[in-house]
Each structure stands twice: as C-alpha cells, then as structure tokens.
Chain A
Amino acid sequence: MGIDRRKFFKVSGLTALGLAGGSVSKVFSSEDSLGTVAPVRPEGPLTAQRWAMVIDLRKCHEHADCNDCVTACHTTHNVPKWENPKDEVKWIWKESFEHAFHDQEHPYQQESLKHLPALVLCNHCDNPPCVRVCPTGATWKREKDGIVMMDWHRCIGCRYCVVACPYGSRSFNWRDPRPKIQKIQPDYPTRSRGVVEKCTFCDERLARGMLPACVEACKYGAMHFGDLEDPNSNVRELLSERYTIRRKPGLGTNPEVYYIV
C-alpha cells in the first residue's frame, strides 16, 4: 500500500508538473522541459458543450484486423493486460455486433454485421446510471462538456456502477494492475487494485488540446469526435447525413456514442 501510494504521488506529481510546464511553455512559447509529456497545442485546450463520438463501423469492417485504437488507448492510459477474462480491464474493445447491439440483431443479418466486431467504450451517457448509483460521487458527469469522469482515489470499490452500467463499459481492478502494465506511461496515473476505471474521452488530452488517443490513432477515419451542441461540428454533420444507431436507446440513458452501420 505504502509503495503504491508513493509511486502514485510520484506519477501524479510528474503529471501536474508536466501540465504546469505545459502552460508555461504556452505563455513563453519555449520548448517543453519534460520530454515525457506530450506537447501542448498553442491553441489551448479542446473544449465543447457536449462531447460526442461517431463510429463508422463499415470502415472498421473494411479493416477488421486493425486494433490501433484499442492499443493506443490502453498504452496511453496504463491499462493492464490480464490473461484471465474474468480479471480483464478494458476501456475500448471489440465486441461482436450481436453482443454490442443485443436488441437489434436478427438471424438473417448481413454476414458482415453478424460476425464482425463493433467497437465499444463508455457511452458518456447524458443520463448516466453509473453516476446515479455511486455512493461517494467518485464518478460524475462533468457539467461543462458532459464527460462522465472517474476519481480513482475516492472510489471505494463497491462496483455498484459496474452493476448499473447497461453497456459493460466499466472495469474493476480485481488485482493489482501495475505488474500487468506492459510499459508504464509516466504522464498518466496507474491505478491501485480495488477501484473501478473506464474511458474518460481522454479528458487529460483534451485539456492539452489533443484529440482522444483512439481517434488520433485511427488511420481510416472511422472515429469522429466533436461537439454535439455545435450545429456545424463534424459529428453533427455525420449524424444529420447518415443513419446512425445507439446501444440500448430504450433505457433512457441517452448514450453519446453513435454508430454508422
């Protein structure tokens, strides 16, 4: 426990330093003093009224072997890799269409949909059940842009949010994740065992003016990230032009990840 905590402070301190260094570099337009920290864009943080994502599953299907977004996300965020599926921690992953869209599949569906995987991640619901059930406020919807955030230091590990999430998007650290992280990224905290984690739409990258790691990693333009409240945004354009679906819309959670099928 003691070592974990020391390590955490070291890493978070470094992150804070990095962020501070970043803002200084912005003002003085000097070079980033810490090599490990990604540079800050001169335009400042990326902001939106309501972040949303559109995933073009047809493009994913054209490149079924591609796993770039998953790798990018899991490396950036120090997500451990467990062999036993019951211990698994995942922020974004491929799920079969029939699992991801349980209520929208039928036995005579196009072959491509039936067998090819759909990318799934936290839906950053407008009406998130996980937030409603959390007994400590360790997960909450950020007012300014709708991102469902997670505080690993307040989380008591009761897993009520995992039970309440209709999408299986939340992971619990059943064991100490650190030995299972392939290469620890010093500019992102690691977690201790016994807490819940999930995708945060890369809030830490947005703050530095960068797109989410998965979106940036996608070579085929299958992932689009933008402001839902801005009528001229990329996501609004796609949503108005294409037929899109969402996962379990009937539950009233109002998921903010849309799929072009």
Chain B
Amino acid sequence: MLEKALVGDKRYWTWVISLMAVIGIATLFYLRQYSEGLGVTGLGRDVTWGFYIAQFTFLVGVAASAVMVVLPYYLHDYKAFAKITILGEFLAISAVTMCMTFIFVDMGQPFRIVNVFLYPSPTSMMFWDTVSLSGYMVLNIIISHVTLGAEKQGIAPPKWIKPVIILSIPWAVSIHTVTAFLYAGLGARPFWMTAILAPRFLASAFAAGPALLILFCLILRKVTKFDAGREPVQTLAKIVTYAMAVNVFFVLMEVFTAVYSGIPEHLEHFKFMFLGLEGNSMMAPWMWVSSILAVVSLILLLNPKARRNESWLVVACIAVFMSLWIDKGMALIVTGFVPSVLGAVPTYVPTVTELMISLGIYALGLLMVTVLYKIALSVRGQWVSKKIVETQRSPVKAGS
C-alpha cells in the first residue's frame, strides 16, 4: 500500500519536501548535539529533563487518544466513526514514533538504548514504558494494516483482528498511565508525586488528541475529497469538552491540595509555576496563557451553539491544544525541578539546537501523518485534491 504515498500532485510533493527539508536541517543540529554532548541543550545539573522529555510526555497522550475513536467504533459499534477510526490509529502510530525519537535524542548514549532490552529491569518504570509504547505501536500497525487492507479489497476484516483491537483499548490507557508512573513514583520530586497524575494525564490526552483529530478532519475536508461528516466531528467535540472539563477539575484539585495544606515542598512548585520563585518567573506568563486558553476553550465548548458552529469549534480546538501543550509540553516537567532537590531555583531555557531538533521531530510526525493519511484516503479513492476534482468536473474549462 506504500506505493500510494509515492504518487501525488505538486501540492502534496511541495508539502512533503518542505517537511523533509525541516527534518534535514534538524538532523544537522542533532549531529552537533551528538558530537558535543547534551551540553548544547539548556539542560544541566539541576534541570535534568526538559523540552525533549516534555514533548515525549505530551505526545504519549496524543498517541493514547486514538482510543477515543477506537472504543466507540469497535466496542459500541458507533458507525459514525467508521471513516475516522483509521485516522486516529495512524495519528497514534505517528505520535508513538515521535515519542520514541524524543527519547532517543534525550539519551546521553543513544546507541546503547539496546541495553534496555539486553538487561531488562522490571523495577524501572522506564522499562515498562518502553514495553507498553512498543507494544502499542505494534498493535496499531497490525490493526491499521489489516483493516485498511480488507477495506482495499472490499471485504470484511478477518475475525481474529477483533480481539487485537479490543486489546488495544486498555493498552492505550496503559501507555499514558505508565508514562505518569515515570514521574509519580519519585519521592525526590514532590511536584509529580501525586496519585492524580495518571488520571490527569489521561484527561488532558483525551482532550488534546481528539482536538487535533478534529483539526485534521477539517483540514482534510479542505484539501481533499474526504469529508469526515458532521456527526463524527461533533461527537469528537463532545469528547473534547468532557475531557477538558475533567482535566481542569483535576488541575484545580492539585492546586487546592498544595495551597490549602501549605506544605512548602508541594506549594513552592505551584508558586514557581504561577507566580515565580526567588525572582525566577519564567514559567508564569506561559501558565497564565495556558489557563486563559483553558477557560476560553471551555466557555466555547460548553456552549452548544458555539460548539456546533465549526468556525468556533476550530478556535476551541486550537485553544485546547495550545493550553494543554503549554501545561504538559513545557510546564509539567520543568516545574518538577524547580526548586531542585537541594532547594535551589535553577533557570532553564531550551537552546536553539534543542528547539530545532524538536521541530524536526514534529516535522517527522507530520510527514508520517501526511503519508499515512494519503495511503488511507487513496485506498478509498478520496485523496484526489479539490483542484483536480474541480477541473475534472468542469469539462468546459478543461476543454477550452
């Protein structure tokens, strides 16, 4: 089926080549990081994990969110999602690839990563995260390959795939739970040591992922013949609404516990995040933007009129995505290190190298989404871009 990705119009190739160019530039930055060491990043003794690990965490959520289309479709036979389930699965595959790449670039000795498999260490949450992420990747590749293959031949997918799909549902929950456990089990880091971290991760994932999927569906409607339809988009919007509301509720619960108890080692992190600590307020403006975006998105989403209006829905989805990206992709990891275990208040700003490498990994993910969506829609004969369709439909213009 891969051959479907190798034919396309000019617009498709321009987009693909632009993404490849970004990946190429990012590779050069990575080579520099590889030869000089992680010292070229803004990371250091006190802030040991930063932008890369934060992107990894955020994207595990995007990957897990595929379950929000898979579950209604396969478990509840919700037919409206028939067309978009494959889009969710392909988004998951691309997101997991980005996750793995972010981990790879964060390693001090990336080519020793095989040691994780050579010396399996079940006491380490990182070991389990590797297992669950790779398993999720394999499950999604098998499921999407088999179901799309069957669709191509116009037959029903084989029966054995059903249990595999059912297995992928709790598995999706597991990847984000285990990712939360990476952080939540560390006595050294009180900011993360909260039982609500995993539920909060899942809530934010089930808001950000489907919000992204809505945006993708609407983009596809613009640039291809594919139309997800109104109902699936509206159902996704409801999922985003519930998940975002639950996420905000969870965050407020965390704030209450820290503020009301007043225990410094919990409170200080929140102070740093929203107000700044010892003159270091680098995170505060971001967190306020994130909070405002969260409120704006909820106002729009909870109001059925706004939610049903697709223009407002786009605004709401972008607000949800940006709000949660700041919360998880910037604040959550770094704040765990401020103050440090020794009570210092370090500063961390990602360097250009770090940002360029991250941009390259996002470009890689977008490239995968593009290619995979192209394959899926070509199989259904829906890829053909609007322009070509219009030309074909107006023979007068074409003939003249």
- Does A156 contact B108, Cβ atoms closer than 8 Å? yes
Q: Which of A88, A136, A159 contacts B49 (CB 8 A)?
A: A159
- Does B121 contact A135, Cβ atoms closer than 8 Å? yes
- Does B340 contact A168, Cβ atoms closer than 8 Å? yes
Q: Does B130 contact A (CB under 8 A)?
A: yes
The listed residue with most A CB atoms (<10 A of its CB), out of B103, B107, B115, B182, is B115
The listed residue with most A CB atoms (<10 A of its CB), out of B110, B112, B113, B130, is B112
Q: Does A167 contact B (CB under 8 A)?
A: yes
The listed residue with most B CB atoms (<10 A of its CB), out of A159, A172, A174, A192, is A174
Q: Does B43 contact A (CB under 8 A)?
A: yes
Known contacts A166-B188, A252-B187, A135 near B45 by CB under 8 Å: no
| A 87-104 to B, binary, CB cutoff 8 A, 1 in contact else 0 | 110000001001110100
Known contacts A88-B45, A129-B187, A164-B188, A175 near B36 by CB under 8 Å: yes
Q: Does A35 contact B (CB under 8 A)?
A: no
| B 99-141 to A, binary, CB cutoff 8 A, 1 in contact else 0 | 0000100111110110110110101111100100000000000
A 153-193 contacts with B by CB, 8 A = 154-160, 162-168, 171-176, 192-193
Q: Which of A102, A129, A133, A154 contacts B342 (CB 8 A)?
A: A102
Q: Does B344 contact A (CB under 8 A)?
A: yes
Known contacts A156-B115, A158-B126, A195 near B109 by CB under 8 Å: yes
- Give the total of B residues in contact with A, Cβ under 8 Å: 41
How far apart are A190's CB and chain B's nearest CB, in angstroms? 14
B 317-353 contacts with A by CB, 8 A = 336, 340-344, 346
Q: Which of B37, B116, B187, B343 contacts A175 (CB 8 A)?
A: B37
Q: Does B392 contact A (CB under 8 A)?
A: no
A163 neighbours in B (Cβ, 8 Å): 48-49, 186, 188-189, 336
A261 neighbours in B (Cβ, 8 Å): none
Q: Which of A133, A159, A175 contacts B124 (CB 8 A)?
A: A133
A 42-100 contacts with B by CB, 8 A = 84-88, 95, 98-100
Q: Which residue of B lies closest to A155 (CB)?
A: B109
- Does B340 contact A175, Cβ atoms closer than 8 Å? no
Q: Does A146 contact B (CB under 8 A)?
A: no
A133 neighbours in B (Cβ, 8 Å): 123-126, 186
B109 neighbours in A (Cβ, 8 Å): 155-157, 192, 194-195
Q: Does B254 contact A (CB under 8 A)?
A: no
Complex CA–CA separation, A166 to B116 (angstroms):
24
How far apart are A1's CB and chain B's nearest CB, in angstroms? 9
Q: Does B215 contact A (CB under 8 A)?
A: no
Q: Does A253 contact B (CB under 8 A)?
A: yes
Q: Which residue of B lies closest to A177 (CB)?
A: B37
- Does B126 contact A137, Cβ atoms closer than 8 Å? no
The listed residue with most A CB atoms (<10 A of its CB), out of B39, B113, B119, is B39
Complex CA–CA separation, A133 to B127 (angstroms):
9
Q: Which of A100, A138, A156 contacts B113 (CB 8 A)?
A: A156
Q: Does B223 contact A (CB under 8 A)?
A: no
- Does A132 contact B45, Cβ atoms closer than 8 Å? no
- Does B39 contact A87, Cβ atoms closer than 8 Å? yes
Q: Does A134 contact B (CB under 8 A)?
A: yes
A88 neighbours in B (Cβ, 8 Å): 44-45
A156 neighbours in B (Cβ, 8 Å): 107-110, 112-113, 115-116
Q: Does A27 contact B (CB under 8 A)?
A: no
A135 neighbours in B (Cβ, 8 Å): 115-116, 121, 124, 126-127, 130
A137 neighbours in B (Cβ, 8 Å): 119, 121
- Does A159 contact B45, Cβ atoms closer than 8 Å? no
Q: Does A251 contact B (CB under 8 A)?
A: yes
A 113-137 contacts with B by CB, 8 A = 129, 131-137
- Does A172 contact B108, Cβ atoms closer than 8 Å? yes
Complex CA–CA separation, A196 to B37 (angstroms):
13
B106 neighbours in A (Cβ, 8 Å): 158
How far apart are B192's CB and chain A's nearest CB, in angstroms? 9
- Does A168 contact B37, Cβ atoms closer than 8 Å? no
Q: Does B46 contact A (CB under 8 A)?
A: yes
Q: Does B38 contact A (CB under 8 A)?
A: yes
Q: Which residue of B lies closest to A174 (CB)?
A: B39
A95 neighbours in B (Cβ, 8 Å): 342
- Does B45 contact A171, Cβ atoms closer than 8 Å? yes
A86 neighbours in B (Cβ, 8 Å): 43-46, 346
- Does B37 contact A174, Cβ atoms closer than 8 Å? yes
Q: Which of A134, A155, A168 contacts B108 (CB 8 A)?
A: A155
How far apart are B239's CB and chain A's nearest CB, in angstroms? 33
- Does A176 contact B37, Cβ atoms closer than 8 Å? yes
Q: Which of A102, A136, A164, A171 contacts B186 (CB 8 A)?
A: A164
Complex CA–CA separation, A162 to B110 (angstroms):
17
Complex CA–CA separation, A159 to B109 (angstroms):
11
Nearest first, the 5 A-B pairs at minimum CB distance are: A157-B108, A86-B44, A194-B108, A166-B188, A174-B39
A-B contacts besides A99-B343, A162-B48, 18 pairs, CB < 8 Å:
A99-B344, A132-B123, A133-B126, A134-B124, A135-B115, A135-B121, A157-B108, A158-B106, A158-B107, A159-B49, A160-B124, A172-B38, A172-B45, A173-B37, A174-B37, A174-B38, A175-B36, A253-B187
23 A-B contacts, Cβ less than 8 Å apart? A88-B44, A95-B342, A99-B344, A102-B343, A133-B126, A135-B115, A135-B124, A135-B130, A137-B121, A157-B38, A158-B106, A163-B49, A164-B186, A164-B188, A166-B188, A167-B342, A168-B45, A168-B342, A175-B36, A175-B37, A176-B37, A195-B108, A196-B108
Where the two chains meet, the residues of A that have a C-beta atom closer than 8 Å to any C-beta of B are 84-88, 95, 98-100, 102, 129, 131-138, 154-160, 162-168, 171-176, 192-196, 251-253
